[in-house]
Each structure stands twice: as C-alpha cells, then as structure tokens.
Amino acid sequence: MMRQMSLQYDVIIIGCGPAGEAAASLAADFRKRVAIVDARGVGAAESDRADGRLGFFALREAAMVASGLARMPLPGLHRTETAGQPLADFAASRQALRDRAGDRIKSALDRPNIDLHAGRARLIDGRTVDVTDGEGRSTTLKADFILIATGSMPHFPAGVPADHPRIAAPWSALSLETLPGSLLIAGGDAAAYACASIFAALGVKVTLACPDKSGLPFLDVECRDHLALAMKSGGVEFRFGSAVRQVDEIKGGRLRIVLDKGQPVESDAMLWHGARRAAVDGLDLEQAGVELTPEGFIAVDEFARTNVSTVFAAGDTTGSGFLASTSVAHGRHAVSQMFETTLKRRADHLIPTCLHTIPPVSCIGVGEDEAREAGLPVVTGRALLQFNARGQAGGERTGILKCIFNRHNQKLLGAVIVGREAPELIHLAQHVMIADGGIDDFIGMSFNQPTLSELYRFAAYAALQSIARFEERDDDYGVLAKVA
C-alpha cells in the first residue's frame, strides 16, 4: 500500500449522498475547510450503487411515460407486452443521467474550500480518517470533526437468499436483467412504494408486502389512502402486516415467498426494501469508539453527535426517516451543531418530504391527523386534480391537494399533495408558511391559467367555506372544492 501525505481540515464528511452533499455545501458556506470522501468516486459513478441509483431514476422516467399513455392513450402509440424485455432498455437514459449527475455533484461541490477524495474511508480515531483509493493508495485526513453519512444497507433475514439472481437489493433493481411478469416488493417505506408504483406502471404484476399495518407512517392517513387507491388502480396489490419470512426457488426459477400472514406468494422476482442497517462495514467504528444502536444504526443525540464528541452522523446511517429530504436536513443540522452556527431555524424545520411514487406525493408542515391529535384548532381545505382545468386536460382521475389551516387565525399549518407535480407544487406552501401566511395569501394571489397551482386557491376557498359552516353549525368538516 502506498501512503500519501496527511491533510488537515475543519471537517471530514464520509459519504456523498443527500446528507453528505448538503453538509459539505453548508460547511463550505461557513468558510470551513471541508474534505468529502465517497467510495463511488464522488460523482464518477464507479460503483453498482451509484449506477443503480441512476438506473432507478431512468426507470422511473420510462414508467412515467408508460403511466401517461395508460391515462391518455395516443393514436399510433400503444403499450405492448413488457414481461421478459431487457430492463436496461427501459433505463436507456441511464448513461446520459450518469454523465449529468457526475457533472452536477462535481459543480455543486466545486468550491475552493472543498476537497473531494474518491475512496473508502476508515476511522483511525475521532479526528483522523484514512482513505484508500481504487489503486490502493492511502491518504490520511485530519479534522476537528468527522461526519459519517454513509447511508444504509439491506439486512436480509436468514430465510432470504440474498445472492439469488431473482432477488434484488435497494438500488439494484436493474440486476434482475429482464422485466419480470410478477414482482414482490418487501417493505413499506418511500423506496418500496416508489418501486412498486414504477414496476406496476411498466406492466408488472406487483405485490407490496408491507411488514406494518400500514406503510408510510409519516403521511397523513387520508393522503396515504389516496395514494394506495391510485396505486391499486395502477395494478399494485397490497399485503399489509406481512413481513417476508422465507423464500424458496420453485419450478421454472420462480420464487415462493412465505409471509408471516396470509397465503404464500409465487413471483418471478423479489425486490428487498425490508430491514436494513447502517452501511458502516470497513469504517472501523470500534477503533474510534463510535457506538451503534441495538438495531445496527449509529447512535446519535438530538444534536447529531455520536458518543464520541468529535464524530457526528446524519441521514440513513442513523436509521431515521429513510428519506432524501430528512437526510439533507440531518446533514445541515449536524454541520450547524459542529460550528455552533444558527441556521434560519424556522426555514430549516420546514422540510418538505417527497415520494417518487407514481403518482408522486409531497408534504410539508403538520398533517391533519397530527394537528388534530395535538388539539390545534384545525380547518382543512381540499381540491381534487380531476376538477382542475389543467388536471382535466392531463386526464387526471386521481390526485388531491389538502391544506391544513389554523381555524382561528387562518394561517397555513401544513399541506399535502398526491398527484402530478406534487414535488414542485409543495414549495408554494413552503413559502407561504415561511412568510407566516395563510388563506388570504392563496385567495389574493394571481395564478397562471390553467395551472395546478390554482388548486391552492380552491383549497383555500374550501377552508373558508368550512370555517363559515363551523361558525354556523359548530362543527368542522373539510369541504371539497369542486371549482373547475
């Protein structure tokens, strides 16, 4: 092994996923000297994992086109049998994405005070990291702080043969090689839902085996049901409260999947989004004295600090959320704790959540159930995409935007959207919340015509009607806006 010089930084960030990238940018904004280390070469997409990530987004784009055609068939463009087709053909944009993603991350982190190190990191102690690149060269990095943002990895139970060619791990769906006729997806988080809706849109018979009573616990129940209904009509079968116990190969290379509730499922392939643990193999955490939780994640306090005062952790590696947006927030939070800087706290607590399902979902602030449980004086306003002119033009049959307001002062407390453009639309609610605005802002705003953004005005009017009814009848029912 060749050894290079030792380099000194304010912070070393291990892992360049959403948590690490956000943390590095913020630390650089604070004029700190930053080293960011990633095993996949920071944007060079050298590993299967990076490739799988882009493959997922390429597949999703193809699935969006397929779902658009299912919603609005066009003359001369029709769907044909998809089972058995090479999966790579559905992810043809992967190469272009790979080039652009590398460029995007590199340019985002192309700052004079950020050094990118491609290689596998290993902790020597609470302030020292060793990085070994693909050619076996080793570099020693030193810093006041270390942030671990290496994500998570699947944890297969004993009865699941992880190396079976028809069983794929997260980010590895393309390793199935051909589009299966049927697919069981194990798990109930954002990734499991996203994959289920994508494969269903591509014509696969999908079963989503969710270990809990319901998936997506962070989501407002009404909107979760709305999403489940849309996914069911897209061909997804849900099996709630059903964790995968055992998988065996049967005739023709198919899989027989035993769940802990209900009948076993026979399927051409399985995608694992079930149990996971922190991706810390080879990091030598014990050497630096960093402790894990009993579930196998890095233990952190509310300040993102591990039991070693100079070592922080953020994102999936801490086992919280398994969402890109929460990982970004954690990364930023960790850096602001290290350097004791005060972010705009209100803005930083308004973190939108986004599910790349078909249809997509996004939410911000408090959900209706949470607000009611907290005893807040809630009034809701809903608007459906099928009653909106732009939604109608796009053939939308599902989709909802719901705003949660404080009934007394009419301020916006939260919003949730299921449907086309949800990840973009949510930012309007975010800005209104940052500005401490509410019903009046949506009603007073001029919108382009026809747009999905107008849904906010319909929802605000619906909330106003609800307030009027409440005042008249002393009850509180959200009213559905049917304004076209």
Ligand X SMILES: Cc1cc2nc3c(=O)[nH]c(=O)nc-3n(C[C@H](O)[C@H](O)[C@H](O)COP(=O)(O)OP(=O)(O)OC[C@H]3O[C@@H](n4cnc5c(N)ncnc54)[C@H](O)[C@@H]3O)c2cc1C
Which chain residues interact with ligand X by CB under 6 A? Answer: 14-20, 37-40, 49, 56, 120-121, 149-151, 170-171, 190-191, 194-195, 279, 282-283, 315-317, 322-325, 327, 354-356
Least Å from the CB of residue 310 to ligand X = 18
3-state DSSP assignment of residue 20: helix
423 exposure class (CB count in 10 Å sphere: 0-12, 13-18, 19+): middle
Looking at the Cβ atoms of 324 and 462, the one nearer to ligand X is 324
Distances (CA, A) of 338 to 144, 175, 333, 365: 9, 40, 9, 26
Least Å from the CB of residue 407 to ligand X = 31
Q: Which residues contact 207 (CB under 8 A, 6 or more apart)?
A: 182, 183, 184, 185, 236, 237, 238, 239, 265, 267
Least Å from the CB of residue 430 to ligand X = 15
Looking at the Cβ atoms of 38 and 454, the one nearer to ligand X is 38
Alpha carbon distance 156, 159 (integer Å): 8
Alpha carbon distance 473, 222 (integer Å): 24
Alpha carbon distance 483, 455 (integer Å): 9
Q: Name the phi and psi angles at 146, rounded to 5.
A: -125, 135
Looking at the Cβ atoms of 190 and 275, the one nearer to ligand X is 190
Peptide bond into 450 cis (omega under 30): yes
Looking at the Cβ atoms of 32 and 49, the one nearer to ligand X is 49
15 exposure class (CB count in 10 Å sphere: 0-12, 13-18, 19+): buried
Alpha carbon distance 473, 478 (integer Å): 13
Can you point out the beta strands (E) in 223-377?
A: 236-240, 244-249, 255-259, 265-267, 269-272, 276-278, 311-313, 353-355, 361-365
C-alpha count within 13 angstroms, C-beta hemisphere, residue 340: 0
Question: Hey, how many other C-beta atoms are within 10 angstroms of the C-beta on 93?
Answer: 16
Looking at the Cβ atoms of 331 and 478, the one nearer to ligand X is 331
Looking at the Cβ atoms of 323 and 383, the one nearer to ligand X is 323
3-state DSSP assignment of residue 72: coil
Least Å from the CB of residue 428 to ligand X = 19
Least Å from the CB of residue 55 to ligand X = 9
Least Å from the CB of residue 331 to ligand X = 7
Least Å from the CB of residue 481 to ligand X = 27
Least Å from the CB of residue 438 to ligand X = 27
Alpha carbon distance 66, 190 (integer Å): 21
Looking at the Cβ atoms of 191 and 208, the one nearer to ligand X is 191
Looking at the Cβ atoms of 218 and 470, the one nearer to ligand X is 218
Least Å from the CB of residue 50 to ligand X = 7
Least Å from the CB of residue 39 to ligand X = 4
User: Using an 8 Å Cβ cutoff, are 292 and 299 in contact?
Assistant: yes
Looking at the Cβ atoms of 186 and 191, the one nearer to ligand X is 191
Looking at the Cβ atoms of 22 and 400, the one nearer to ligand X is 22
